[in-house]
């Protein structure tokens, strides 16, 4: 008996996941994300009609890619939040170095995708926040809360502190790497991280909080 019109075949989920996996690998390795629906199909190795069978439109394809990036990055988010790396100065410096390292391994291209496609888009913008930007901030919140509990960081709104810790680093990485700032106006990222952590702890250290 043939399959009813409009019904999904038995390997629908597996094939869809394979398509998303190929597209995610292509985007993270090449940085190419401003692709039309037809170009996405070509990158996935399927016909546009086949891609349309699994995804309603281009937006749905990119949301699925962001979800895949989120799933791939969960263990790194968890490590960033909880891995033991000593007292606050060393720990926060490690965390930011971990963020920079991940950026160079493909996370940066995922951020570029989220920002390029997400700004002003009612579906892709929230998808980027949910899958990548907020998990990064949550990871920083957990690490700051750890040091607050030890008395190494003064009482504060951990979400505000996390944004203050992460946002300048994201700006620097976008400037230096995504936008070519390393050749326009070079900044030593490692030295910046050292200075940034020192200033962060002067602002959020226990003596400042108690004053």
136: confidence class by pLDDT, cuts 50, 70, 90:
very high
Domain membership flag for residue 31:
no
185 falls within a domain: yes
Q: Is the pTM of this model over 0.85?
A: yes
Radius of gyration of the chain (CA): 20
Residue 131 belongs to domain with CATH number:
1.10.357.10
Tokens (6 digits) for 205: 């250290």
Domain membership flag for residue 19? no
**Would you say residue 199 lies in a domain?**
yes
29 lies in some domain: no
What's the start-to-end Cα distance of the chain, in Å?
A: 77
Give the total number of structural domains in the chain: 1
Tokens of residue 123, six digits: 């579906």
Is 12 part of any domain?
no
Interatomic CA distance for residues 115 and 19, integer angstroms: 23
Q: 64 in a domain, yes or no?
A: yes
pLDDT in tens, 189-209: 999 999 999 999 999 998 644
DSSP alpha helices (H): ranges in 103-179? 108-118, 124-128, 134-149, 158-173
The predicted pLDDT at position 34 comes to 81
Confidence label for 173 from pLDDT (cuts 50, 70 and 90) = very high
- In tens, the pLDDT along 26-85 reads 988 877 778 899 999 999 999 999 999 999 999 999 999 999 999 988 888 999 998 999
Residue 143 belongs to a domain = yes
Q: Which domain holds residue 65?
A: 59-210
pLDDT at 93 (0 to 100): 98
């Amino acid at each position: 008996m043939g399959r009813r019109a409009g019904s999904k075949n038995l390997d629908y989920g597996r094939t869809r996941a394979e398509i998303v996996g190929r597209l995610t690998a292509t985007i993270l390795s090449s940085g190419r994300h401003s692709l039309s629906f037809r170009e996405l199909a070509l990158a996935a190795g399927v016909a546009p009609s086949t891609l349309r069978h699994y995804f309603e439109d281009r937006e749905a394809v990119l949301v699925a890619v962001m979800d895949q990036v989120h799933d791939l990055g969960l263990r790194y988010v968890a490590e960033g939040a909880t891995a033991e790396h000593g007292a606050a100065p060393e720990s926060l410096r490690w965390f930011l170095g971990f963020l920079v390292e991940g950026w160079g391994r493909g996370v940066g291209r995922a951020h570029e995708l989220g920002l390029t496609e997400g700004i002003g888009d009612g579906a892709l913008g929230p998808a980027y926040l949910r899958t990548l930007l907020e998990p990064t901030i949550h990871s920083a919140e957990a690490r700051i809360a750890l040091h607050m509990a030890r008395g190494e960081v003064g009482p504060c709104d951990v979400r505000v502190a996390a944004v203050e810790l992460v946002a300048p680093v994201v700006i620097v990485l976008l400037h230096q790497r995504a936008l070519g700032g390393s050749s326009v106006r070079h900044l030593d990222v490692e030295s910046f991280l050292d200075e940034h952590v020192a200033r962060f702890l002067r602002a959020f250290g226990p003596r400042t909080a108690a004053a």
